[in-house]
């Protein structure tokens, strides 16, 4: 007698890891464009006569629509209502449109002359493109998180999320490493943006391939499983924001990421000013950070899947973050090797917290509300990513300028590092509260993700 056992497509190891590889590649292309302009700052100044203020306006544009027009939150709601296929394709289209506008502006096809709202037209249009792209890439991020939960829940969820983050960070590293040589080779500051546009087209095609797999996954789900999936309702948003565990994760996220991503923007300057590293070599030490996370985020994710201890991992990460920023603040061992060691420890902390934090969200929030929940967390996080670099810049200009003999600007980084350290202290406090809340509510953050 043969027994018919219905297997979901996600039960096949090959299928779920293939699905992960496809969507992670789309994110790699997105992260590449996110950071592609940072190494080009001197070329933009030389070739297009951009000032630092122009560059600052352009950089902050990433968060404009997400933060002020709540685009990320609407994206999350659309994700929960319309699903990963529609939302993911929409996000890819926004990334493509944004990148195309940005390319047209930087290449001089549009806005080469004149001003818009008092800004150079070129800067304003490139910023508009980047702002549209920012909406697309953030919505793609929450969509991919939901895709991973769909395929990996009850399986290697944290490892999969860790691998996706690691793949995306390859995009950041590529941006740091290949952008300037590529622009110099083609003698064009816009050439790397065109490369990003081509890569985003490939990323979009790869998401189309995922859509085919997603259809097959749903077809393989039993009717019973599909019935269990209730539709998303607006009232679900209130359920999320009334959940204390959700707020603890969102606060931990904004505090932790505010002490890392904005720090990276100033880390090269810190190496020059405090550790007296040559300008040309100073970027090498901070670049160790994303490099370390490539290997460590999946490693810690795998540990969380098998052994649990998610809340404890986040506490350890926050303690390490405090230690790192304190060591950077203290006037001890102003040597490059010491800075390198401390940066490596920061890389470990930056792998620990995300590897446990993102896979913990589905333990607190039901799957049908996940898109909205991730979107709300990213929205809270975007305030920090937008505000903290501005705060640190203002603090440096107002309180930390040093008198120099050569006329160039020099800064004492003690106060900015104390500010980053304070974010770590509050993050630790929140992580401890999260562990206590987990004990009270039984979310299972300390339990393994893989169900035996
Ligand atoms: C998964 C997580 N992503 C984010 O936090 C994004 N909101 C911000 C991405 C910024 C990319 N430079 C992560 O990358 O850890």
Residues 6+ apart with CB under 8 A from 375: 72, 73, 75, 76, 77, 79, 139, 142
410: exposed, middle or buried (C-beta count within 10 Å: 0-12, 13-18, 19+)? Answer: middle
Among residues 292, 299, 277, 416, the alpha carbon closest in space to that of 343 is found at 292
Q: Ligand 1 site: residues with CB under 6 angstroms? A: 31, 34, 138, 141, 165, 168, 257, 354, 358, 378, 381
Question: How many residues comprise the chain?
Answer: 452
Return the H-helix or E-strand segment holding 410: strand 410-411
CA distance 51 to 58: 11
The residues pairing with 116 across neighbouring beta strands, listed in sequence order, are 119
Specify the pLDDT at position 2. 41
Tokens of 437: 């809340």
pLDDT at residue number 265? 74
**Ligand 1, pocket-test mutation among 59, 140, 176, 257, most atoms within 8 A of CB:** 257
Rounded Cα distance, 237 and 73, in Å: 10
| Domain spans of the chain, in order of start | 14-219, 236-452
Q: What stretches of 221-334 show up as alpha helix (H) in DSSP? A: 223-228, 235-241, 244-258, 261-273, 279-282, 284-307, 310-329
Radius of gyration, CA atoms only, the chain: 22
Q: How confident is the prediction along the chain (452 residues), in pLDDT tens digits per residue?
A: 444 455 788 889 999 999 999 999 999 999 999 988 877 777 887 899 988 778 778 888 888 899 999 999 899 899 989 999 999 999 999 999 999 999 999 999 998 888 998 889 999 999 999 999 999 999 999 999 999 999 998 899 989 999 999 999 899 888 877 888 899 899 999 999 999 999 999 999 999 999 999 999 999 886 556 545 556 677 778 889 999 999 999 999 999 999 998 888 788 888 888 998 886 677 778 878 878 888 899 999 999 999 999 999 999 999 999 999 999 999 888 889 999 999 999 999 999 999 999 999 999 998 888 888 998 999 999 998 878 877 888 888 888 888 776 656 688 899 999 999 999 999 999 999 999 999 999 999 999 988 76
Write the burial class of residue 182 (CB in 10 Å: 0-12 exposed, 13-18 middle, 19+ buried). Answer: middle
Q: What is the dihedral of CA 340, 342, 345, 346, to 10 degrees?
A: -100
- CA angle 213/214/216 to nearest 5° reads 65
Helix (H) or strand (E) holding 116: strand 115-116
For 326, counting Cβ atoms within 10 Å of its Cβ (0-12 exposed, 13-18 middle, 19+ buried), the class is middle
- For ligand 1, atom 3, the nearest C-alpha belongs to 141
Q: Among the CATH numbers 1.10.10.10, 1.10.3720.10, 1.20.1250.20, 3.40.720.10, which is that of 236-452?
A: 1.20.1250.20
Matching CATH topology for 14-219 and 236-452?
yes
Task: For residues 17 and 257, give the distance between their C-alpha atoms in angstroms, rounded to a whole number.
Answer: 28
CA of 382 to the centre of ligand 1 (A): 9
Measured CA to CA, the distance from residue 334 to residue 329 in angstroms comes to 10
- Residue 430 Cα to ligand 1 midpoint, Å, equals 20
Under 8 Å between Cβ of 95 and 33: yes
Q: Which residue puts its alpha carbon closest to atom 1 of ligand 1? A: 165
Task: Please tell me the CATH code under which domain 14-219 is placed.
Answer: 1.20.1250.20
The C-alpha angle 48, 49, 53, rounded to 5 degrees, equals 115
């Amino acid at each position: 007698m043969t027994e018919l056992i219905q297997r979901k497509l996600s039960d096949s190891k090959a299928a779920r890891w293939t699905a992960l590889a496809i969507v992670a590649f789309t994110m790699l292309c997105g992260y590449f464009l996110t950071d592609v302009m940072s190494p080009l700052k001197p070329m933009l100044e030389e070739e297009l006569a951009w000032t630092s203020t122009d560059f600052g306006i352009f950089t902050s544009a990433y968060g404009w629509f997400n933060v002020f027009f709540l685009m990320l939150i609407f994206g999350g709601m659309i994700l929960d209502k319309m699903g990963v296929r529609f939302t993911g394709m929409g996000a890819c289209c926004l990334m493509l449109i944004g990148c195309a506008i940005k390319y047209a502006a930087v290449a001089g096809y549009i806005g080469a002359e004149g001003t818009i709202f008092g800004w150079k037209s070129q800067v304003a249009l490139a910023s508009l493109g980047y702002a549209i792209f920012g909406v697309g890439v953030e919505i793609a991020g929450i969509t991919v998180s939901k895709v991973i939960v769909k395929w990996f829940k009850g399986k290697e969820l944290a490892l999969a999320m860790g691998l996706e983050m690691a793949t995306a960070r390859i995009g950041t590293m590529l941006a740091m490493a290949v952008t300037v040589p590529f622009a110099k080779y083609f003698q064009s500051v816009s050439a790397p943006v065109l490369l990003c546009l081509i890569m985003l087209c490939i990323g979009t095609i790869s998401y189309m391939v995922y859509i085919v797999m997603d259809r097959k996954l749903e077809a393989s789900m039993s009717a019973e499983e599909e019935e269990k999936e209730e539709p998303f309702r607006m009232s679900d948003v209130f359920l999320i924001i009334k959940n204390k565990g959700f707020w603890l994760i969102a606060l931990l996220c904004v505090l932790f990421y505010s002490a890392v991503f904005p720090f990276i923007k100033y880390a090269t300057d810190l190496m020059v000013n405090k550790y007296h590293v040559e300008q040309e070599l100073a970027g090498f030490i901070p670049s160790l950070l994303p490099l370390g996370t490539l290997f460590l985020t999946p490693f810690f994710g795998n540990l969380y899947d098998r052994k649990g201890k998610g809340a404890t991992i986040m506490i350890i990460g926050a303690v390490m973050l405090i230690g790192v920023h304190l060591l950077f603040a203290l006037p001890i061992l102003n040597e490059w090797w010491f800075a390198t060691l401390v940066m490596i420890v920061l890389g470990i902390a930056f792998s620990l917290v995300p590897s446990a934090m993102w896979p913990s969200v589905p333990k607190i929030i039901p799957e049908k509300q996940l898109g909205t929940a991730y979107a709300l967390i990213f929205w809270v996080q975007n305030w920090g990513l937008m505000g903290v670099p501005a705060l640190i810049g203002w603090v440096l200009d107002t309180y930390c300028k040093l008198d120099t003999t050569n006329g160039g600007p020099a800064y004492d980084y003690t106060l900015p590092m104390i500010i980053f350290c304070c974010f770590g202290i509050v993050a630790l406090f929140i992580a401890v509260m999260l562990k206590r809340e987990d004990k009270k509510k039984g979310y299972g953050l300390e339990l393994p993700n893989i169900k035996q």
